[in-house]
Structure 1
Amino acid sequence: MSERVLLVVDVQVDVMEESVGSDAVIANVAKLVEAARAADVPVVWVQHSDAGLAKGGAEWQIVPQLSPADDEAVVHKTWSDSLVETELAQQLEALGAREIVLAGAQTDTCIRSTFYGGIHRGYDVTLVSDAHTTGDMREWGAEFSPEQSIAVLNAQAASTKQPGATGAVTTTAEAFI
Structure 2
Amino acid sequence: MGNTALLVIDAQVGIIEGPKYGPVYEKERLLESMKKVIDEAREKEVPIIFILDTDVAEPDSMEYQVHPHIAPLKDDTILTKRATDAFHHTNLHEYLHTLEVNHLVIMGCKTEYCVDTTCRKATTLDYDVTLVADGHSTTDNSVLSAKDIIAHHNCNLHRLENIDYFILVRNSDENIFKHKHLDYK
Q: TM-score range by the shorter chain?
A: over 0.9
Shift, 1:72, TM fit: 1.5
Root mean square deviation, CA, Å: 1.3
Are residue 76 (structure 1) and residue 94 (structure 2) matched? no
Q: What is the deviation of 1:159?
A: 2.3
Distance 1:87 1:23 in 2: 31
Number of corresponding residues: 172
Task: Tell me, yes or no, if structure 1 residue 29 matches structure 2 residue 31.
Answer: no
So what's the TM-score if we normalise by structure 1?
Answer: 0.92
The 8 Å contact of residues 73 and 91 in structure 1, kept in 2 or not, is answered as no
Between the aligned partners of 1:82 and 1:92, the Cα distance in structure 2 is: 12
Structure 1 residues 26-175: aligned runs within 5 Å:
26-50=31-55, 53-138=57-142, 143-174=143-174, 175=176
* Percentage of identical aligned residues: 27
Distance in 2 (CA, whole Å) between partners of 1:61 and 1:151 is 27
How far the C-alpha of 1:106 sits from its partner, in A, is 0.3
Q: Which amino acid is the alignment partner of residue 3 of structure 1?
A: N
Query: How far apart, CA to CA, are the structure 2 residues paired with 1:56 and 1:29?
Result: 24
TM-score by length of 2: 0.88
Task: State the one-letter code of the partner of 2:14.
Answer: D
What is the alpha-carbon distance in structure 2 between the residues aligned to residue 56 and residue 125 of structure 1?
Answer: 32
Taking the aligned partners of 2:77 and 2:108, their CA distance within structure 1 comes to 16
CA displacement at 1:61 relative to structure 2: 0.6
CA shift digits 1:96-155 (9 cap, x unpaired): 1101100010001110111111112111111000010001222xxxx3211111011111
2-structure distance, mates of 1:24, 1:176: 20
Q: Distance in 2 between matches of 1:159 and 1:176?
A: 17
Structure 2 residue identity aligned to 1:99: H
